[in-house]
Each structure stands twice: as structure tokens, then as C-alpha cells.
């Protein structure tokens, strides 16, 4: 049960990091388009 919670937390952290990285790339591409 403990390891299941740890695995779930790891999945959530990786998912949040992936979303943040993708949003940063999107902002960068938008800035390049508008320049």
C-alpha cells in the first residue's frame, strides 16, 4: 500500500513537470511567432 502511494506521487510529479515543460515550450514558440 505504501509503495502504491509512492508510485502515484511519482506519476503526479512527472505529469506536472511534463505539463510545465510543454507550456514553457508553447510560450517560447508564441514569442518567436510574434517577433
| Nearest-angstrom CA–CA distance, 18 and 8 | 15
pLDDT reported for residue 10:
92
| Nearest-angstrom CA–CA distance, 13 and 2 | 17
pLDDT reported for residue 20:
81
Distances from the Cα of 2 to the Cαs of 5, 10, 12, 34, in angstroms?
A: 5, 13, 16, 48
pLDDT reported for residue 16:
87
Q: Write out pLDDT tens, residues 1-35.
A: 788 889 999 999 999 888 888 877 777 777 777 76
Is the sign of the CA dihedral 13, 15, 16, 18 positive or negative? positive
Amino acid at each position: 500500500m505504501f509503495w502504491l502511494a509512492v508510485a502515484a506521487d511519482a506519476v503526479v510529479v512527472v505529469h506536472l513537470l511534463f505539463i510545465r515543460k510543454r507550456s514553457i515550450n508553447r510560450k517560447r514558440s508564441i514569442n518567436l511567432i510574434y517577433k
